[in-house]
Amino acid sequence: MRIIKYFIIIMIMALVATLFYKKVYTPNFTFEVITPTQGELQVSIRGIGNVGALDIYSITAQTGGKILEILTDSGMWVKKGNLLIVMDGVDLPMQLEVSKSTLSKTKYELQATKNDLENQKAQKELLAVTHQRYKRLREQEFISVSEYDKAKVDLQRIDATLMNITAKIASGKEAVVIAVKNIELIKEKIKRLKVYAPVDGYVIAKEADVAQNILPSTAILKIVDPKTLWVETKIDERISSQIKPLQKATITLRSEPNKPYRAMVKKISTMSDAVTLEREVFVAFETIPKPFYINEQAEVKIEVKTYVDVLKLPLKVIVQENGEIGVWVLKEHHAHFHKIDKTAQSDEEIAISNIDKDMKIIIPDNTKKSLREGMKINP
C-alpha cells in the first residue's frame, strides 16, 4: 500500500516537473534560431488602385430614331466589325427604290433625247443640202424668193431645235448625276442604321434598350479595348522616383486575391496631387483577366530593384532596442543585441550588410519572455 502511495507521489511530481518545463522553462528560455541566407532580394513598391482603361468606346448610332436590335449585352466579348446595333430606317428602303426608279427613268429619257438629237442632225444635213441647192437656183432665178427664204428658215429652225435638244441632254446628264448622288445618300443613311464594333473588346455597359427612341449622341453601349486595360494607383512622392516605365509588376484583383496577373508600368503622371502628395501611376495588364470589371479595386506590386547575392533575413527577426534597429544574436548560449545596417527591404525580407552568414539569429517570440542583453538561451 505504501509503495502505491509513493508511486502516485512520484507520478504527480513528474507531471508537475513536465508541465513546469514545457509551460514555464521552455517557453521563456528556448527560442528558434536561424542563420542568414544568401541570394537575390527583389524590392517592390505596393499601391492600391482601381481597374480602368485608356480606351473606352462609347457606342452611339450615327442617326437618331428607334432601336430595332441590340445584338450584344454587358459582359460579352465582341470582335472588330461585329454587328452591334440596328436602327429603324422608317421609309428609307422605300425612298431608295423610288430613287432607283427615278434614275432609270432619267437615263431612259436622256437616251431618247440623244436619239432625237441624232435624228435632227440627219434632218439638218438634208436641209443644208436643200438650202445650198435653192441658193444656186435663186442665183439663176429659177425659183422665187419666197421658196429660197423658206429653205433658209427651215435650216435656221433645225439649228434652234438642235440647240434645244443639246440643252435637254445636258440637263438630263445633270439629272442622272443628281439621281445617282441621291441614291448614294440614301444608301449611306441605310448603312448608318447599322453600328459595328470599332475594336476587339469587352462590353462593360448597355445603356439603352430595344424599341427605345434615341438621339444621335445617345450612348447605347460602352466597349473597352482590353489591350489598354490598366490599374490607376497612387504612390507617395517620397518613393515614386524609384518607379520607371516598363518595370515589371503584378496586379491582384480584389475578386481574385490568390491570382496575381503579370503587368508592367505603362505611364507615370507628370503631376502630383497637391493635397495627398501622391503621384498617379498606371500599371497595364500583360495577361488580361476574363471577365474583368471596370473600377474594381486592385493591389499593385511594382518590382523596382533586384539585389543579387546579398545576405538576408526575414523581417520577423528585426527588433528595435533603445531606439536602434537590430537583431538578437546567439553567442555561447547568451543573447546579444546586434545593430544592423540595412541595404534593402522587401515585403518579407531584409538585406543586411554588417552580418556574417554563420551568425545565429534568434527569432523573437511574443509568447515567451522578452529577450534582453546577456540572457541565457536554450536553442
Long-range Cβ contacts of 125-131 (<8 Å, 24+ apart) = 127/151, 127/154, 127/155, 127/158, 128/155, 130/154, 130/155, 131/155
Which tens digit of pLDDT belongs to each residue from 85-103?
999 888 888 888 998 999 8
2 band by pLDDT with thresholds 50, 70 and 90: low
User: Are 338 and 320 contacting, i.e. CB atoms less than 8 angstroms apart?
Assistant: no
| pLDDT for 4 | 67
- Whether 270 shows a pLDDT value over 60: the answer reads yes
Residue 49 pairs in a beta bridge with 233, 298
Instruction: Give the number of other CB atoms < 10 A from CB of residue 204.
Output: 20
- Predicted TM-score (pTM) of the model is 0.60
Greatest mean pLDDT among 6-15, 103-112, 156-165, 258-267 lies in 258-267
What b/e sequence results for 13-42 when a residue is b if at least 16 CB atoms lie within 10 Å of its CB, and e otherwise?
Answer: eeeeeeeeeeeeeeeeeebebeebeeeebe
Span 56-72, average pLDDT: 90
Kindly state the greatest CA–CA separation across the chain: 184
Which tens digit of pLDDT belongs to each residue from 314-369?
999 899 888 889 999 999 888 899 998 888 888 788 899 888 888 999 899 888 77
